[in-house]
């Protein structure tokens, strides 16, 4: 299976200038190709990727307005047109129902201030010792935090909004064999406690309050400053670094938590949460978005496919996991969110609300509960 290994790279000032030029060329090629597709009359056939490459790259280099496209490698320019083809494929498959998940919108034009990227295939890059060599850009210093498991098939150079550069390699790996400690586990995701496990353990999320306060302060400061000024750009950069720090803390926590869940349990049972609908609650929207429930589910499913004999099961969001006693099966009905401890009137067992829900999630995922009807 194919996975990504990402590393920080440190370009020289001259290489930064070359990368910025490459990002601009990739963005212009993508936008030109999208403009051609949008100009096609309704009902007419859309140009293929090969035809778009001829129009925006080959013929574009011959014009005075786009002759500077010849100054960069043609490989990432071709991949940029390929990315547009993938975007259209995802859009049409999402409309027809072939693509799972949330609906994918119509491709939009790329902006200069967003994250920039350029992808090189094997004909455009090579590894020379501990350095990465890119076509027409030279050799780059790479911070190798871990060795590559195999020869990479492509590399994507990324510049985030904080001005940092990364190289993301696509490599092929085989399945991992790890003996599980438990046959199954149920996970109830929450806000104050990130996850309550059916084993009785709690997983506490890192605190984001301090970084959130600083982020909101800089957002207010940015809104007051004059657009285009140097001070506003300085504030924008500090704000981007704060948001990146929060995202890195969250990603590190989610990676460690999901890896432990997959390695220690043969079957991990999660609840199908409607996160987008829950974000409509303005009082809880920030707290819900900080937890990263959707990312945690995606990571669990991806890591389960990388380990032999692992499975992630998703139960329906309508399962009354908080309304049923996990010991005797008595259903007491809906209970307010402020109630955190419940005493079952049937068997007399006192349950923690989240712990009881985690046990019911595990039973429902394993098919051990009966239909309430």
103 falls in which pLDDT band (50, 70, 90)? Answer: confident
Tell whether 114 and 223 lie within a shared domain: no
Return the pLDDT at 341. 87
The per-residue pLDDT for range 316-342, each reduced to its tens digit, is 888 888 888 988 888 888 888 888 888
| Sequence-separated (6 or more) residues with CB below 8 Å from residue 197 | 185, 186, 187, 188, 203, 358
Whether residue 354 lies in the annotated active site? yes
Tell whether 166 and 277 lie within a shared domain: no
Residue matched to tokens 């955190």: 340
113 falls in which pLDDT band (50, 70, 90)? Answer: confident
Q: Which of 149, 172, 195 is the last residue of a domain?
A: 172
Residues 34, 110: Cα–Cα separation, whole Å? 10
Mean pLDDT, the chain, as a whole number? 92
Return the pLDDT at 192. 84
- Phi, psi for 120 (deg, rounded to 5): -115, 135
Q: Which of 138, 172, 206 is the last residue of a domain?
A: 172
Tell whether 248 and 102 lie within a shared domain: no
Pair of tokens at residue 370 = 């009966």
Q: What is the DSSP string of 179-227?
A: --SEEEEEEEE-SSSSEEETTS-EEPPPP-HHHHHHHHHHHHHHHHSPT
Tell whether 182 and 164 lie within a shared domain: no
Residues 218, 207: Cα–Cα separation, whole Å? 19
Catalytic residue chosen out of the listed positions 32, 83, 319, 354: 354
Q: Which of 137, 172, 207 is the last residue of a domain?
A: 172
The per-residue pLDDT for range 214-253, each reduced to its tens digit, is 999 999 999 999 999 999 999 999 999 999 999 999 999 9
Tell whether 322 and 239 lie within a shared domain: yes
- Evaluate if residue 256 carries a pLDDT over 60: yes
- Evaluate if residue 371 carries a pLDDT over 70: no
Whether residue 271 lies in the annotated active site? yes
Tell whether 145 and 234 lie within a shared domain: no
137 falls in which pLDDT band (50, 70, 90)? Answer: very high
Strand pairing category for 311-315 and 265-271: parallel
Domain extent, residue 200, equals 177-372
Q: What is the pTM of this model?
A: 0.86
Lowest mean pLDDT among 125-134, 162-171, 349-358: 349-358
% of the chain with per-residue pLDDT over 70 = 99
The per-residue pLDDT for range 34-77, each reduced to its tens digit, is 999 999 998 888 899 999 999 999 999 999 999 999 999 999 99
370 versus 257: the higher-pLDDT residue is: 257
178 falls in which pLDDT band (50, 70, 90)? Answer: very high
- Evaluate if residue 101 carries a pLDDT over 80: no
Return the pLDDT at 189. 93
Task: Specify whether the CB–CB gap between 36 and 53 falls below 8 A.
Answer: no
The SS3 of residue 283 is coil
Tell whether 168 and 182 lie within a shared domain: no
Catalytic residue chosen out of the listed positions 32, 83, 271, 319: 271
Tell whether 160 and 198 lie within a shared domain: no
Return the pLDDT at 16. 96
Return the pLDDT at 373. 38
Task: Specify whether the CB–CB gap between 184 and 362 falls below 8 A.
Answer: yes
Return the pLDDT at 369. 60
Tell whether 304 and 212 lie within a shared domain: yes
Residue matched to tokens 């285009």: 228
Tell whether 195 and 337 lie within a shared domain: yes
Catalytic residue chosen out of the listed positions 188, 290, 319, 362: 188
Tell whether 48 and 91 lie within a shared domain: yes
Domains identified in the chain, total number: 2
Tell whether 240 and 341 lie within a shared domain: yes
């Amino acid at each position: 299976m194919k996975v990504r290994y990402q590393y920080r790279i440190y370009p020289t000032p001259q290489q930064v200038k070359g990368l910025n030029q490459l990002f601009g060329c990739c963005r212009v090629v993508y936008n030109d190709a999208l403009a051609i597709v949008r100009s096609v009359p309704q009902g007419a056939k859309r140009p293929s990727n090969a035809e778009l490459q001829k129009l925006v790259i080959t013929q574009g280099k011959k014009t005075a307005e786009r002759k500077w496209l010849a100054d960069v490698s043609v490989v990432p320019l071709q991949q940029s047109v390929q990315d547009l083809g993938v975007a259209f494929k995802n859009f049409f498959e999402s409309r027809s129902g072939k693509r799972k998940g949330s609906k994918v919108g119509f491709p939009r034009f790329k902006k200069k201030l967003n994250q920039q990227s350029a992808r090189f295939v094997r004909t455009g890059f090579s590894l020379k010792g501990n350095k990465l060599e890119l076509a027409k850009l030279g050799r780059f210093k790479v911070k190798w935090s871990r060795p590559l498991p195999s020869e990479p098939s492509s590399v994507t150079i990324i510049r985030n909004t904080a001005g940092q550069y990364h190289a993301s390699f696509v490599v092929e790996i085989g399945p991992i064999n790890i003996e599980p400690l438990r046959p199954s586990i149920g996970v109830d995701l929450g806000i104050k406690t990130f996850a309550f496990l059916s084993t009785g353990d709690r997983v506490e999320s890192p605190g984001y309050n301090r970084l959130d306060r600083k982020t909101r302060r800089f957002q207010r400061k940015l809104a007051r400053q004059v657009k285009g000024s140097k001070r506003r750009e300085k504030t924008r950069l500090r704000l981007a670094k704060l948001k990146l720090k929060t995202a890195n803390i969250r990603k590190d926590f989610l990676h460690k938590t999901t890896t432990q869940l997959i390695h220690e349990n043969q079957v991990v049972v999660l609840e199908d949460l409607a996160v987008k609908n829950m974000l409509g609650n303005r009082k809880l929207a920030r707290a819900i978005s900080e937890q990263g429930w959707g990312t945690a589910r995606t990571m669990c499913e991806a890591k389960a496919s990388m380990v032999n004999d692992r499975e992630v099961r998703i139960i329906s969001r309508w399962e009354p996991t908080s309304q049923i006693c996990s010991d005797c099966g008595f259903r007491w009905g809906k209970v307010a969110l402020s109630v955190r401890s419940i005493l079952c009137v049937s068997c007399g067992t006192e349950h923690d609300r989240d712990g009881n829900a985690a046990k019911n999630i595990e039973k429902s995922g394993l098919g051990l509960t009966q239909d309430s009807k």
